[in-house]
Structure 1
């Protein structure tokens, strides 16, 4: 039985986190974490996939300050805050989940790992993701589309921010994607308060030791033509985690889950099925 709904959970400091839910109510959960200045709508293609909806419970939060979630004044620079927010979402999943992090969502997952380890996780998929942030951090290296958008995309002045955010939305994909989707990306960015957009960049995080300690299955998917998060950031993440499964997709940009949706959904489904089988195997031993 499928259940399509919106819900709320309470994250760090009582902040209300909006959550999108679909798929089989009692199935194992896939938790999708979107990127900087985006929302749960980024995963529209996956939420429309009948195989994913029939096989899994699909859960996608709006990060604090994004989408339908509250936008408090502070907390954006504290890894423990992001960890607590994601922990609240994982509790909603009702069991070990496969968590999928796109772009900045990969850093949010790493914040969770820093605080909680792999508790509650059956597996992790990093998709065009960063796992570090700060000057010179290899796990957070950005591409030309993001570099060109900064710092204008952080401005309070619409006349300054709008052209930068528009160019960034246009530069996300290497292959053609529906215009409606690209415009939705731009709309999501504009809906995030500029102070939140800025706060997410005011961090300096090294994650080498955190990644090396991961002991659940990990999938890394990264387009080789990603102009937002450089492919070397994905290579860094993959190189730090033992037994990682890595997919480098030529001709794909920052939106592999849209640009190559069928291949992405199939890859994710197979990875998740194997990860959940591993959980069952560990429970039976």
Structure 2
């Protein structure tokens, strides 16, 4: 795998990892809250790499990307990050695949840059709004009970909450090796970044009906973070979207059942 450092919105350095077929259709993977590119390891190391150019980015404040104290509330800076990846790596009409918080970043990009430079979108366990009662209503009470701990500066409390989050994301108990790798990159995100991500207040109700490029909505039937019924809300604004409800999968279906997820992503790409 190749590592890249590119300049994103506001001049910060963003870290991306690339693998796969350099002449294949690009897919950009955008991880969720407090994660990093390694969340997509079961895609990056899969047979998708035989046919597709796979790029996974560490979003602002995460992984090996810069972690500034400011700029997380600015929609244009999130949009600039995705545009920077497309331009710097010369990605020809990529599919944007975002998990959980990642779809918010994708929608920031579409709001500021439009759809002309992408070929399609895959929303995975998605939220599309933040900072309102309506936005909170799609999140489970169990997840919401963990939120104060995400912002804690006390290390033990922070680690406890993040470990609970990881277990909540997965349909099955992870191996000790996987759990501690995941916990490591979750803990590396500073509490001020986690709080800033949750401090945004906006929705995309105006934008969703305007999207014309193909959309695939993937959701785990056993998602314990974002309620599976949220898919119906997405469909209200994205009537043309394809729906994939994954049985025996939780909030991270690309991890719980990578083979099925990858097969469906491949089929979606081939249909474009």
TM-score tier after normalising by the smaller chain length: over 0.9
> Unaligned stretches of 5+ in structure 2?
none
TM-superposed deviation, 1:225: 1.3
- Runs of 4+ that moved beyond 6 A: none
Partner of 1:195: 192
Is 1:63 aligned to 2:25, yes or no? no
Partner of 1:271: 268
* 2:104 alignment partner, one of 82, 103, 107: 107
TM-superposed deviation, 1:205: 1.0
Contact 2:99–2:124, Cα closer than 8 Å, also in 1: yes
Task: Considering fraction of residues, name the structure with more helix.
Answer: 1
Q: Quote the Cα distance in structure 1 between the aligned partners of 2:234 and 2:247.
A: 18
Partner of 2:224: 227
Partner of 1:253: 250
TM-superposed deviation, 1:242: 2.9
Contact 1:34–1:63, Cα closer than 8 Å, also in 2: yes
Partner of 2:80: 84
Provide closer, same or farther for how the CA distance between residues 139 and 242 of structure 1 changes in structure 2, counting only shifts above 3 A.
Answer: farther
Q: Quote the Cα distance in structure 1 between the aligned partners of 2:230 and 2:238.
A: 13
Q: Quote the Cα distance in structure 1 between the aligned partners of 2:33 and 2:92.
A: 27
Partner of 2:34: 37
Choose 110-119 or 217-226, whichever is displaced more: 110-119
Contact 1:177–1:258, Cα closer than 8 Å, also in 2: no
Choose 114-123 or 34-43, whichever is displaced more: 114-123
Aligned residues: 271
Q: Quote the Cα distance in structure 2 between the aligned partners of 1:98 and 1:86.
A: 12
> Unaligned stretches of 5+ in structure 1?
276-285
Contact 1:140–1:229, Cα closer than 8 Å, also in 2: no
Say what the alpha-carbon RMSD is for the aligned residues: 1.5
Q: How does 1:1-285 map to 2 (within 5 A)?
A: 4-50=1-47, 52-91=48-87, 92-138=89-135, 141-275=138-272
- The TM-score, its normalising length taken from structure 1, stands at 0.91
Contact 2:167–2:173, Cα closer than 8 Å, also in 1: no
Q: Quote the Cα distance in structure 2 between the aligned partners of 1:131 and 1:98.
A: 18
- SS of 2:207's equivalent in the other structure is helix
Provide closer, same or farther for how the CA distance between residues 151 and 188 of structure 1 changes in structure 2, counting only shifts above 3 A.
Answer: same
- SS of 1:151's equivalent in the other structure is helix
Q: Quote the Cα distance in structure 1 between the aligned partners of 2:75 and 2:138.
A: 19
- SS of 2:222's equivalent in the other structure is coil
Provide closer, same or farther for how the CA distance between residues 178 and 140 of structure 1 changes in structure 2, counting only shifts above 3 A.
Answer: farther
TM-superposed deviation, 1:258: 1.1
TM-superposed deviation, 1:176: 4.3
Q: Quote the Cα distance in structure 1 between the aligned partners of 2:227 and 2:65.
A: 29
In the TM superposition, what whole-angstrom CA distance separates every residue of 1:124-147 from its partner, at most 9, and x where no partner exists? 000011111112234872123421
- SS of 1:115's equivalent in the other structure is helix
In the TM superposition, what whole-angstrom CA distance separates every residue of 1:58-103 from its partner, at most 9, and x where no partner exists? 0011001100100112110111110001111122242100010001
